[in-house]
Amino acid sequence: MVKKRVVKKMLFYTIAAFVAVASIAFGLVYAYQDKIIGLFVAEANKHINTKVEVAQISLSLFEKFPQVAVSLDKVNVHEGVEGSEESLARAEKLYFTFSIWNVLRGKYSIEQLYMEHGAIYVKVLPDGKVNYMVIKQDSSSTGNEAFAFNLEQINLKEVSLNYIDQQLKQTYEVNAHELVAALGVTNESIAIEANGNATVNTIKVGTGEYFKGKKIDLASALVIDRVNKLVQLQPSTVNIESASYEVGGTIGYAGPTVLDLKLDGKNTSVQSLLSLLPQSISNDLNQYRSEGEVYFNGTVKGNVSAKENPTIAFNFGARNASFYHPDVKQRVDDINLTGSFTNGSKQNAATTVLELKDLSGVLNGHRFNGNFKYSNFNNPNIAFDIKGKLDVGYVLGLAKLEQVQSGSGLADVRIAFSGNLNEFKARPGNSTLNTSGDITLHNVSLSLLELPLPLQNLNGNFIFKRNDVAVSDFKGKLGNSDFVINGMFKNVMAWLLLDRQRLLVEADFNSKYIDFNQLLSEELNTPQQARKGSRSDYKFILSPNIAFDISASVDRVRFRRFRAKNIKGEVTLRNQVVSSPNISFNAIGGNFAVRGKLDARTREHIKVSTATKLNNMSVDSLFFVFENFQQNFIMDRHLRGQLTANIVSDIYFDSQLNAKTDLLQAEIVATVRNGQLINFEPMQKMSAFVKRSELANMRFAELHNSFWIQQRTIYIPEMDIRSNLSAAPTVSISGQHTFDQHMDYKIKLPLFSSQRPDKDAAFGIVASDPGAGNSSLFLTLKGKESDFKIAYDDDRVRQKIKTDLKQEGQELKDLLRGKKPKDKEKKVELQEGEYFDFN
């Protein structure tokens, strides 16, 4: 018990003494805080020769306890360039700390600097001047012995470090998350040990971008020889991603900066090597990972100035490594390669070379090998060769191409490529690329993002020669349609690699079956996200970057109700205009011959101009196939016969293949043989003149006429129909019929008096020919398809009477002259305007 009481007393007195001393110390500090701040400002002004803006200066005992801190809020240090208002450094907080015990002794020595949430901007201007010369050179001679800056440590927290060399065109941007630098300063040297973590936002050298977004851990040690102006970098470790790099060497700054550095990679991988390359090269590959032995080392030697760059030389390689994407199962195994990267003899982008040699690997059990070289980063030259059997689905899974959803099959690849990309862009048609070799497809299938219809069973051989590809027996299926192509694909490489380049296909095209319902379907040819809000049935667009000269032979074609067989012809596409001098096919019981062109240069104003010859078509089938031409007046069930016609037309569509009927123009010369008009309602209305049984099936041996279509109206010149009607063996018809189904027909119906109905008064008075015993009745048919009326044609009757009177006058003159008179028709006046109401 006694011992416990003694311990408690000792503990109590110790704490009490500490509290007392601390209270006295804190009291003294607060008592002298104005003096300390004043000394700090005075001493800082002796060392800094640029403008410094501070929102508030205070003394803190607790923020950096047990150190006493001079706290500066919202600091802005102007750069050391005369007349400039730009910042050298900004910070939300700056802390300068010193020991509380030194304060009690009356000595104020700044030992540590804390910078939090700020940015430092270091620049080398175009004329070689720098913006960071803000420390006075002679400040030591007037220093206050009681107050001094003796920094032993610098602490950075969330500070952006920016270095811009406008002479060398280099930019370095690093965000220091937690970085501590210990300093040992003497008159001869400065020793620095730095540890911490940061993120390299970017390093730009010329046009190349490196290390973008890379997280690094740093453990370095260096000595700055102030006498010889030399930085000696001890072997230091920089961790980038999962790899470590050991850096050592010297940096001289007595004159131009002289580098002599060596870099060795430890635990390196493919992605860590890619991070050292320009962002333009590595960006598409930085998600890939590797396993196995990957090595890396290099040197940087030489002067650094506005006119000089050091020599950079790196060597790397892999032995029995694997390469894969973390999101897919596919991988490349047993990879072996040797590689190098150098900025060349002139140490600039023009002499920079990246090279992979003796690359080999195994892809899904199939071995491949090749080489790759990328030289002159200002004006790139690319050369590569590859040979092997590739599993298409496996390669696509590994490559993760956005435009290709899936694939399968095998491809034998033996291809070499070389050329200058900029020259190729400037002169794509001048064979600036050298491509050779061939690719053979074996049962390849592809599912493309832009083409929902699947490509299946692709087989064929493609022989590359410079910019062109010879295609041999390339066959496959696109949806339900199949194809076989033999010929030349010209300007292929330019079309694949450059924008707005034209592919020219000169080939023979053969197919057993083409389904235009699928090929023109908007749903089956447009990605879901690109479809319009209101879905259309069809979509027709011709690319301006594709041209062809094709000799086609197709066994069968289908589109809606249309079926055709034995299609043959020559087809040309240029500048979104398809033309053909001759296409022939069999359809609807006969044959077609077509020449013309399709102009799709204006997407929503597609013009189809054709000259078509139809021979021996079945009229009822023609009306059925073309869906009765969108009218209900005369339909396929009403017609029989064989049609022969010549049609010259201009038809217009939008990109959904909706016809612009107001612009349609056509001239049709048609002949129908062995025709029948079956149960046609307007003919049934004639039962007052002709037996209803005959009208139910009106037959005629031949009908011939010309028709015109313009402004949504069909114009029908007068034509005689010689039929099987006993009362009217010849019927004359003319008139017009609009696309809105408004009809205006003129009918001339000859009637025999012997078959005339008993009460002629019901029909008015007709013209008759006593010698022949027949009469003529002039009628009109007007109205809509569902509501039409037949009436006397008063105008034609008057014109007929006028003509006949003139003829009778001539006959009278001839009689007076002694000429024998001709037989004449007896003409009398008709009852005008009376409609027929036949039941």
- 536 pLDDT tier (thresholds 50, 70, 90): low
Mean pLDDT of 35-39: 69
Residue 90, pLDDT score: 92
Residue 497, pLDDT score: 79
Question: How many Å apart are CA 321 and CA 334, to the nearest integer?
Answer: 5
User: Which residues 6+ apart lie within 8 Å of 825 measured at CB?
Assistant: 767, 768, 769, 770, 804
- Please give the share of the chain, as a percent, with pLDDT higher than 90: 21
- 552 pLDDT tier (thresholds 50, 70, 90): very high
- 411 pLDDT tier (thresholds 50, 70, 90): very high
- Please give the share of the chain, as a percent, with pLDDT higher than 70: 74
* Nearest CA-CA partner of 391 in 402, 403, 406: 406
Mean pLDDT of 660-676: 84
Map tokens 């299946």 to a residue: 456
Residue 11 or 308, more confident: 308
Residue 330 or 412, more confident: 412
Chain-centre distance for alpha carbon 732: 61
Residue 444, SS3 per DSSP: strand
pLDDT surpassing 50 at residue 215: yes
**97-105, Cβ contacts within 8 angstroms, sequence gap of 24 or more:** 97/64, 97/67, 97/68, 97/69, 97/70, 98/67, 98/68, 99/67, 99/68, 100/25, 100/29, 100/61, 100/66, 100/67, 100/68, 103/25, 103/28, 103/29, 103/32, 103/36, 103/68, 104/25, 104/28
- The pair of three-digit structure tokens given for residue 39, joined into one six-digit string: 């000394």
* Nearest CA-CA partner of 834 in 733, 760, 726, 744: 760
Return the exposure string of 204-230: e unless at least 16 CB atoms fall within 10 Å of the residue's CB, then b. bbbeebbbbebebebebbbbbbeeeeb
pLDDT surpassing 90 at residue 744: no
- The pair of three-digit structure tokens given for residue 502, joined into one six-digit string: 């034209």
Beta strands 147-165 and 108-124: pairing type? parallel
* Nearest CA-CA partner of 629 in 644, 639, 642: 639
pLDDT tens string 147-161: 566 777 888 899 998
pLDDT tens string 275-329: 666 666 666 666 667 788 888 899 999 988 777 888 999 898 888 888 777 777 7
Among 14-28, 591-605, 684-698, name the one with the lowest average pLDDT. Answer: 14-28
Q: Is the dihedral of CA 109, 113, 114, 118 positive or negative?
A: positive
pLDDT surpassing 90 at residue 811: no
- The pair of three-digit structure tokens given for residue 812, joined into one six-digit string: 């009278």
Stated length of the chain: 839
Residue 374, pLDDT score: 92
Question: How many Å apart are CA 101 and CA 643, to the nearest integer?
Answer: 117
Residue 209, pLDDT score: 74
User: Which residues 6+ apart lie within 8 Å of 145 measured at CB?
Assistant: none
Helices 2-31 and 33-47 sit at what angle, rounded to 10 degrees? 60
pLDDT surpassing 60 at residue 820: no
Query: Are 183 and 152 a contacting pair, CB within 8 Å?
Result: yes
pLDDT tens string 464-509: 998 899 999 999 999 999 999 999 999 888 888 788 888 999 999 9
Residue 304, pLDDT score: 81
Number of H helices, E strands in the chain: 14, 38
pTM of the model: 0.67
Peptide bond into 326 cis (omega under 30): no
Residue 835, pLDDT score: 43
Residue 772 or 565, more confident: 565
Query: Other CB atoms closer than 10 Å to residue 790's CB: what's the count?
Result: 20
Mean pLDDT of 394-410: 81
Residue 173 φ then ψ, to 5° = -130, 115
pLDDT tens string 178-192: 988 887 767 788 787
Q: Residue 270 has what DSSP assignment? A: H
Q: Supply the mean pLDDT for the chain.
A: 78
Element (H, E) at 409: strand 404-420
pLDDT surpassing 60 at residue 761: no
* Nearest CA-CA partner of 696 in 653, 640, 658: 640
Residue 269 or 778, more confident: 778
Mean pLDDT of 693-701: 68
Among 249-253, 258-262, 780-784, 788-792, name the one with the lowest average pLDDT. Answer: 788-792
Strand partners, 408: 445
